[in-house]
Chains A and B, each alone.
Chain A
Amino acid sequence: MTLSMRPDFSTIAGWIAPDARILDLGCGDGSLLAHLRESRGATGYGIEIDDAGVLASIGNRVNVIQSDLETGLAGFDDQSFDSVILSQTLQAMHRIESIVAEMLRVGREAIVSFPNFGHWSHRAQVLLGRMPVSQSLPYQWYDTPNVHLCTVADFDAFCAERRFRVNERVVLHDARRVQFMPNLLGSLAIYRFRGA
């Protein structure tokens, strides 16, 4: 089984302490957990609802629990993981506030990555009157799984309103870090934060 290596993986791996306990929400084929296992000695579980993802995770020898994130994380005790990761899944979730609250309940910190709707190419397409389609948002408006797209500025405000302590914020484009005007020039945002 070949593992996919998404651009946010190495940033996330850099934040994971050796031998950390990880919960990866929406783990897909388990490639992030497999990467963290190989690179950091991390252990833990992935949660995935999709049959193909569950099967691929098992094939990658990643612990995967088939479950619907929208129903919460009832099977996990408070503060039982070092990090709870939501990698490029936030935008497809319905109940954002409750899943973020659950992440901070079961984990000491949350790591969230999402495509930045504020990237200039998305703004330009909206200005021209069309819903954006790009490398980071590859879907047409009628078949997209994304229901809660946001910008870097939106997520900054979301965290600030809840007094989350944002320890790290990395914005990437083409796998390179964007320091200058990240909400305009970055296409993928990765946050690492703790509760109030």
Chain B
Amino acid sequence: MSRAPGSVGIVEAQRAVFDEPLALSSGATLSQFELTYETYGRLNAERSNAILVCHALNASHHVAGVYARQPDSEGWWDNMIGPGKPVDTERFFVIGVNNIGSCFGSTGPMSINPATGQPWGSDFPIVTVEDWVDGQARLADRLGIERFAAVMGGSLGGMQALAWATRYPHRIANALAIAAAPNLSAQNIAFNEVARAAILTDPDFHEGHFYAHGVKPVRGLRVARMIGHITYISDEQMGEKFGRQLREGIKYSFDPEFEIESYLRYQGEKFSEYFDANTYLRITKALDYFDPARATGGDLAKALAPAKARFLVISFTTDWRFSPARAREIVKALVDNRRDVSYAEIVAPFGHDAFLLDTPQYHAVVRAYLARALQP
């Protein structure tokens, strides 16, 4: 089997079915659920080298490698994970898992509701970061992993790493929270609300039961993705990449004339083809709700007090969605608890998306940190 250098090569998704009910934060219960996941590398005999990679809004369990006969199907964090890469699959057993409520195989709004025999649609419960983490813990049990060497993720994935550290303090040795925040700001919730409004007001949404109508609220999804995309990149980067460039001069029309317009439309179009609207609604809600300090009267240090893991917190200078100031709040709360924490603020012009890119200092920091992660 040939594979690109540093790639984990051809990978295959796996499924795990759980018949034990899962109680959700909302009060609802999933009587049974299924998780789709991938693994790379080998679990060692002590079962101590597992790293869980948590995904953000639109990603999935397909973190690294490619699918057979689909050369363009590279995983979303392939630059980070693989043999000899910062998350070295020669040393670590890496797990990517699709979260509950998502649309890439795990139980979600597109799955069949056992009570009705129809797709769940809007009836699928609203899930939270904590629910995802509980689901991931079930998968860890199934794979025989008592304690992760690390749980890591960017953005919403970093929030899951935080939730892991407080919810299962004895099951996680290291938490890597990258481009993350202790909760969303009002501005962030506002962006999410505009995205949701775009979907909810699309006539093809049909109150979330559009599957039965044979349509998809693609217009709403497109606008939702366009808004999201604006917030993932920095003004500086957008200016550099697109500026005020026109495609074919000014035509005094509403067709895409500026390059940035055409780029956003392309991104929206592509996204609406593969992403589920009910999932988008739910994942943005999970983001909005995440706030560990809500239970402790706004005291983040108190909320993180149960954590025992060592932490690596990383932010990016031009990330205005999850800014360095928000990452420093996490760091301060950990310092207040006398936890082991390192914090790197990476100079990168790419905005929030920087966590997916391979800025040398960023990858070097993750590599150096994980190189010592297996030490007691």
To the question of whether A and B form a pair in one complex, the answer is yes
Give the size category of B's interface with A: 20 to 34
Across the interface, which residues of B come within 8 angstroms of A76, CB to CB? 332, 335
Answer whether A58 and B341 are a contact pair too, CB < 8 Å, given A51-B361, A77-B336: no
Q: CB-nearest residue of chain B relative to A52?
A: B361
Across the interface, which residues of B come within 8 angstroms of A140, CB to CB? none
Across the interface, which residues of A come within 8 angstroms of B345, CB to CB? 66-67
* Cβ-defined contact, A75 with B342, below 8 A: no
* Cβ-defined contact, A65 with B343, below 8 A: yes
Can you name 10 A-B residue pairings with CB atoms under 8 Å? Answer: A54-B344, A58-B368, A58-B372, A63-B341, A63-B342, A64-B343, A67-B345, A75-B331, A76-B332, A80-B336
Instruction: Decide yes or no whether A61 CB sits under 8 A from chain B.
Output: yes
Answer whether A59 and B372 are a contact pair too, CB < 8 Å, given A64-B343, A65-B343, A66-B343: yes
The docked-state distance in angstroms from the alpha carbon of A43 to that of B341 is 11
Given A58-B372, A75-B331, 6 more pairs with CB closer than 8 A: A45-B341, A51-B347, A55-B365, A58-B368, A64-B342, A76-B335
Instruction: Decide yes or no whether A57 CB sits under 8 A from chain B.
Output: yes
Instruction: Decide yes or no whether B246 CB sits under 8 A from chain A.
Output: no
* Cβ-defined contact, B341 with A54, below 8 A: no
Across the interface, which residues of B come within 8 angstroms of A61, CB to CB? 372, 375
Instruction: Decide yes or no whether A40 CB sits under 8 A from chain B.
Output: no
The docked-state distance in angstroms from the alpha carbon of A3 to that of B306 is 33
The docked-state distance in angstroms from the alpha carbon of A75 to that of B340 is 15
**Residues in B lying within 8 Å of A, measured CB to CB:** 312, 328, 331-332, 335-336, 338, 340-345, 347, 361, 364-365, 368-369, 371-372, 375
* Cβ-defined contact, B369 with A58, below 8 A: yes
The docked-state distance in angstroms from the alpha carbon of A54 to that of B214 is 54
* Cβ-defined contact, A75 with B344, below 8 A: no
Across the interface, which residues of B come within 8 angstroms of A51, CB to CB? 347, 361
The docked-state distance in angstroms from the alpha carbon of A54 to that of B331 is 15
The docked-state distance in angstroms from the alpha carbon of A58 to that of B345 is 13
Answer whether A59 and B368 are a contact pair too, CB < 8 Å, given A75-B332, A76-B335, A77-B336: yes
Across the interface, which residues of B come within 8 angstroms of A21, CB to CB? 338
* Cβ-defined contact, B338 with A43, below 8 A: yes
The docked-state distance in angstroms from the alpha carbon of A117 to that of B215 is 78
Across the interface, which residues of B come within 8 angstroms of A62, CB to CB? 342
* Cβ-defined contact, A58 with B344, below 8 A: yes
- Chain A 68-81: CB-based contact to B (< 8 A → 1; otherwise 0): 00000001110010
Q: CB-nearest residue of chain A relative to B345?
A: A66
**Residues in A lying within 8 Å of B, measured CB to CB:** 21, 43, 45, 51, 54-55, 57-59, 61-67, 75-77, 80
Partner of A63, one of B328, B336, B340: B340
Across the interface, which residues of A come within 8 angstroms of B341, CB to CB? 45, 63, 65
* Cβ-defined contact, A58 with B342, below 8 A: yes
* Cβ-defined contact, A65 with B338, below 8 A: no
- A61–chain B nearest beta-carbon distance, Å: 5
* Cβ-defined contact, B368 with A65, below 8 A: no
- B192–chain A nearest beta-carbon distance, Å: 28
Answer whether A45 and B369 are a contact pair too, CB < 8 Å, given A54-B344, A55-B364, A66-B344: no
* Cβ-defined contact, A65 with B342, below 8 A: yes
Across the interface, which residues of A come within 8 angstroms of B365, CB to CB? 54-55, 58
Across the interface, which residues of A come within 8 angstroms of B369, CB to CB? 58
The docked-state distance in angstroms from the alpha carbon of A24 to that of B283 is 41
Q: CB-nearest residue of chain A relative to B332?
A: A75
The docked-state distance in angstroms from the alpha carbon of A55 to that of B335 is 19
Across the interface, which residues of A come within 8 angstroms of B331, CB to CB? 65, 75
* Cβ-defined contact, B342 with A57, below 8 A: yes
Across the interface, which residues of A come within 8 angstroms of B332, CB to CB? 75-76
The docked-state distance in angstroms from the alpha carbon of A53 to that of B312 is 15
Q: CB-nearest residue of chain B relative to A59?
A: B368
Across the interface, which residues of B come within 8 angstroms of A55, CB to CB? 344, 361, 364-365, 368
The docked-state distance in angstroms from the alpha carbon of A77 to that of B312 is 21
The docked-state distance in angstroms from the alpha carbon of A62 to that of B340 is 9
Across the interface, which residues of A come within 8 angstroms of B371, CB to CB? 59
Task: Tell me which of A51, A65, A67, A76 has the highest count of chain B C-beta atoms within 10 A of its own C-beta.
Answer: A65
The docked-state distance in angstroms from the alpha carbon of A62 to that of B341 is 9
- B259–chain A nearest beta-carbon distance, Å: 33
Q: CB-nearest residue of chain B relative to A58?
A: B368
The docked-state distance in angstroms from the alpha carbon of A77 to that of B301 is 12
Across the interface, which residues of B come within 8 angstroms of A80, CB to CB? 335-336
Task: Tell me which of B331, B342, B345 has the highest count of chain A C-beta atoms within 10 A of its own C-beta.
Answer: B342
Top 10 nearest A-B pairs by Cβ distance?
A59-B368, A75-B332, A58-B368, A65-B343, A66-B345, A61-B372, A64-B342, A51-B361, A66-B344, A58-B369
Across the interface, which residues of B come within 8 angstroms of A45, CB to CB? 335, 341
The docked-state distance in angstroms from the alpha carbon of A51 to that of B331 is 18
Across the interface, which residues of A come within 8 angstroms of B347, CB to CB? 51
Across the interface, which residues of B come within 8 angstroms of A75, CB to CB? 328, 331-332, 335
